[in-house]
Structure 1
Amino acid sequence: MLKSLKFISILQAYSLPNYLHTSSRYASYSKDCLLKLRKQTGFPFAFCKEALSKNGNDYEQAYNWMQGEADKRGLSKAGKLASRTMTQGLLGLLSTSKSAVIVEINCETDFVARNSSFQRLVSSSAHSIAHFFQNNASPKLLLDEDSLKSIKDLETDQLLPDSVALTIGSVGENMKIRRALCMRTEGSDSRIASYVHTSSSGVSTSFKDVKFGKYAACLVYRPSSQQNSGPTWNETSASICSKLCQHIVGMNPNPSLTLTKPVKNPDNEKCFFHQRYLLDETIKVADLLEQNEIVVQGFVRMECGTEEVYDTDDSDQEAKKVTA
């Protein structure tokens, strides 16, 4: 049974003290100088370490060295572009039958959303967040922008904001990791189906198992009884529930598992179970589920650029609209 989304602001597994260890890659440096340099410049920690080690732990010399070096590496662009509005971006979905991660990264233009460097950032961020989630006991998490700052990028071995800064430098456009949703099944017979929809032409469909799009949905389900579970049911239900995720994206039902009174005009129906199935309007969602012995335990829907994540929780049958 899925529980309510939880915000976490302190991720102990990747806390700042753990990140500030002395590396054999660089000479020793003062932690105070490192923190000051990071705060003043906004550049990645690894770059600040390098500056201090190459300049004898002298703050002024390190600062001056970084200004010239940052221009060469493109890092200075991140600071210059920080105030620019970001209205575009991508969702990255990484999922299995037992867990799913959706991450949203924003950028300024749809052109950059189609850029391979940006898509690699979305992919590496999704994998890194999934790795963090493996070590967290919660069945579901919604990570806000501040929470994501503490997670390390598995690909670059830097914190996620530092990887973003490097991508900004190479692409030349402002961007940020805005939020991420992590979820897993709790029962042995429960499964997760997912779907991501791309509305922009030219966007790659996936990279390293991470699917890209503007809309995403995940649905948690189980068989109506233990007798129904088996290879045939598993295959059939997985296909149906994946299509139901497509239905959730397209029909945008209310985030609730509660049965309400059907409305007179079916086109205005917002109750998930009473809605006509998107891919076959001759049947309602509830009838499709009953015919295939599927019980829906909850679903989530995310849209890139919106304020809410819509989630259901069958523990109390109440709709959850969580603002990130």
Structure 2
Amino acid sequence: MAITAQMVKELREMSGAGMMDAKKALVEVDGDMEAAIDWLRTKGLAKAAKKADRIAAEGLVGVAVSGGKGVAVEVNSETDFVAKNADFQKLVSGVTQAALAVSSVEELALAHVNGKTVDETITGATAVIGEKISLRRMALVEGDSVAAYVHNAAADGMGKIGVLVAVKGTDNGIAKQIAMHIAATNPLALAEADLDPVVVERERSVQTQKALEENASSAKPKPDSVIENNIIPGRMKKFLEENTLMGQKFVMNPDITVEQAAKDAGVVVTAFVRIAVGEGIEKEKEDFAAEVAKTLAS
């Protein structure tokens, strides 16, 4: 497969690796971007890259809680200017409240806001605001109690990151603190059992290859059994601690885990949701000169 300059540029942006390293990685794996990231990581040339880091789309995430149910809804716009618009914020608020009565984004599109379906309301907003508005997704959690937190709030109940935390037991404020923790740390899953097995196996493969290569270049190589029975389990334990909510050190008290903090408060965290505006969406970028030229030509 031909390796293009654009592919090298994209890999550099995703991994932080140098140009020649990025090009070599792509050549080694025949242009497979994710495999190239893994190759760079085994060489110690890149950190783990998440597709969710490539945030480009604008808009807002709205959150709402009613009783033991919480919802988070993402509504996208083309520019951040629109996200600051009072009419757009009113739209997001209405759509979020409507989400409390449904269980999926498909149902939400057909739900009603002020006598019109959400789909019709968004179509109308697109015409009035002059920018493409879209309902991207919604998520919900349920429990004895649900807490919500919005980071980078643009208005009440909406911002750039929305988090919901459901707990079993009587919440004394710990759920809100855990929601703030989640906004900052972005765990992959609640606990080890909830992690995608593909993600875990991929990490194990990367760490194994990396350890073997480190061992091969060491002045005092260790037996393969030490790598397999000690080094890899240790690295995977660290991976689980860093990427599962229950295993993470609690930002409010790093001496204990989130799991222990919840236990000390007399609750059990049963579910969480974290939605950040535009995560996983690629947006075409233009330099300023090209943007001005495009405007003058229209």
**Same fold by TM-score greater than 0.5:** yes
Q: Which residue, 145, 149, 152 being the options, matches 2:109?
A: 149
1:269 aligns with 2:254: no
CA distance in 2 between partners of 1:128 and 1:174 (Å)? 21
> CA offsets, 1:103-152, max 9 Å, x none?
1110010010000000000011112222x32xxxxxxx3425xx433222
- Paired residues, number: 187
Q: Which residue, 65, 71, 75 being the options, matches 1:105?
A: 75
Q: Which residue, 177, 199, 221 being the options, matches 1:243?
A: 177
- 1:26-41 equivalent positions in 2, closer than 5 A: none
Residue equivalent to 2:146 = 192
> CA offsets, 1:221-278, max 9 Å, x none?
123xxxxxxxxxx4xx341111101111211112133379775769971122221111
Quick check: 2:72–2:164 contact (8 Å CA) kept in 1? no
Residue equivalent to 1:167 = 125
Structure 1 residues 151 and 267: alpha-carbon distance in aligned structure 2, compared to 1, 3 A threshold: closer
Query: Structure 2 unaligned runs (5+)?
Result: 1-55, 196-232, 282-298
Q: Secondary structure at the match of 2:87?
A: helix
Residue equivalent to 1:282 = 255
Identity of aligned residues (%): 25
Quick check: 2:140–2:273 contact (8 Å CA) kept in 1? no
Q: Which residue, 155, 158, 167 being the options, matches 1:212?
A: 158
Quick check: 1:196–1:217 contact (8 Å CA) kept in 2? yes
Structure 1 residues 127 and 248: alpha-carbon distance in aligned structure 2, compared to 1, 3 A threshold: same
Matched AA of 2:108: L
Residue equivalent to 1:5 = none
Quick check: 1:97–1:193 contact (8 Å CA) kept in 2? no
Structure 1 residues 266 and 176: alpha-carbon distance in aligned structure 2, compared to 1, 3 A threshold: closer
CA distance in 2 between partners of 1:127 and 1:267 (Å)? 35
Quick check: 1:257–1:298 contact (8 Å CA) kept in 2? no
> Which moves more between the two structures, 283-292 or 91-100?
283-292
CA distance in 1 between partners of 2:188 and 2:141 (Å)? 19
* TM-score when normalising by structure 1: 0.52
Q: Secondary structure at the match of 1:177?
A: strand
Please report the RMSD computed on the Cα atoms of aligned residues, expressed in angstroms.
2.7
